[in-house]
């Protein structure tokens, strides 16, 4: 089995609930392709979200309800592990004191007040932004595109030069495995995809470009903080980056400016 195929199976099996059978211990080559193909692995979840938004529009459901249900589909389709990663990452960063204490707080898995607040704020932001898009005739396309684009954040999270905060775990396998050329190429592909999506629904293509740039800037700042506080990245940080990226993309695309 080629590294690309094994990587895609790893990405789908890790990032979604889609069954892919038993997955062997991944090599660095598998991990590299898994992170590069994360947006592709998200296509089943994106398709489910797009379908729900289309049905909600046809059924004239309230926009807020459709948006909330769409985010519920994402949570179910990803085992809610990205939301869990967001909460754990914020709790770890907020724990302060020492790197060891921060990692221990993240390892425990129980959600503290900072993590709970982050979950509420990010989900409210995502619901509010998505609700402005679902009433558009092609809102389903924007919703699906946003899901796919947000998964490209793992290319930054796992780029060369970003160490793992722990010697074991998912972060240790994928940290620093994505070369710079692959990160850049993935960013260009996702930017083109989101710009084309925006154009298809009557927005300016600049909306897609701005969404990707601002999402990348937000994730970059998150990673700088995690490097300083935690010493690197973990699987939880990957989840946090995905949720943060999704929120930024939806906010930008929801702007009436486009």
pLDDT digits (tens, 9 = 90+) for 157-175: 999 989 999 888 777 888 8
Coil vs helix vs strand at 161: coil
Kindly give, in sequence order, each residue whose CB lies less than 8 Å from that of residue 181, ignoring residues fewer than 6 positions away: none
Residue range 114-134: mean pLDDT, rounded: 95
CA gap 17, 78 in Å, rounded: 6
CA gap 70, 50 in Å, rounded: 8
- Residue 155: which pLDDT band, with cuts at 50, 70 and 90? very high
Share of the chain above pLDDT 70, in %: 99
Q: What local confidence, expressed as pLDDT, does residue 173 receive?
A: 85
Q: What local confidence, expressed as pLDDT, does residue 25 receive?
A: 76
End-to-end CA distance of the chain: 45
CA gap 76, 152 in Å, rounded: 20
Query: Does the pLDDT value for residue 1 go beyond 70?
Result: no
Residue range 116-139: mean pLDDT, rounded: 93
Q: What local confidence, expressed as pLDDT, does residue 2 receive?
A: 79
Query: Does the pLDDT value for residue 237 go beyond 70?
Result: yes
Q: What local confidence, expressed as pLDDT, does residue 189 receive?
A: 96
Residue range 8-26: mean pLDDT, rounded: 85
Q: What local confidence, expressed as pLDDT, does residue 150 receive?
A: 97
Q: What local confidence, expressed as pLDDT, does residue 6 receive?
A: 86
Q: What local confidence, expressed as pLDDT, does residue 135 receive?
A: 83
> What's the pLDDT tens digit per position in 25-80?
778 888 899 999 999 999 999 999 999 999 999 999 999 999 999 999 999 999 99
Of the candidates 241, 238, 248, 244, the one whose C-alpha atom is nearest the C-alpha of residue 11 is: 238
Angle 57-59-61 from CA coordinates, rounded to 5°: 70
Tokens of 204: 């300016």
């Amino acid at each position: 089995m080629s590294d690309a195929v094994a990587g895609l199976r790893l990405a789908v099996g890790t990032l979604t609930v889609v069954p892919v059978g038993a997955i062997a211990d991944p090599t660095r080559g598998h991990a590299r392709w898994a992170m590069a193909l994360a947006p592709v692995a998200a296509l089943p979840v994106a398709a489910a979200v797009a379908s729900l938004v289309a049905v909600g529009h046809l059924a004239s459901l309230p926009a807020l309800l459709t948006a909330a249900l769409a985010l519920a589909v994402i949570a179910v389709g990803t085992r809610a592990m990205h939301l869990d990663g967001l909460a754990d990452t914020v709790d770890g960063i907020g724990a302060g004191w020492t790197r060891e204490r921060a990692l221990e707080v993240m390892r425990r898995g129980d959600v503290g007040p900072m993590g709970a607040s982050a979950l509420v704020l990010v989900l409210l932001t995502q619901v509010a932004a998505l609700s402005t898009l679902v009433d558009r005739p092609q809102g389903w396309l924007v919703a699906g595109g946003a899901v796919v684009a947000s998964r490209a954040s793992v290319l930054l999270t796992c780029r060369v030069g970003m160490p793992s905060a722990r010697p074991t775990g998912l972060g240790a396998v994928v940290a620093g495995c994505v070369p710079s050329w692959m990160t850049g190429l993935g960013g260009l592909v996702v930017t083109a995809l989101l710009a084309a999506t925006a154009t298809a629904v009557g927005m300016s293509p600049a909306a897609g470009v701005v969404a990707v740039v601002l999402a990348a800037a937000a994730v970059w700042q998150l990673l700088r903080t995690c490097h300083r506080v935690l010493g690197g990245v973990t699987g939880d940080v990957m989840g946090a980056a995905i949720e943060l990226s999704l929120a930024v993309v939806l906010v930008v695309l929801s702007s009436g400016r486009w």
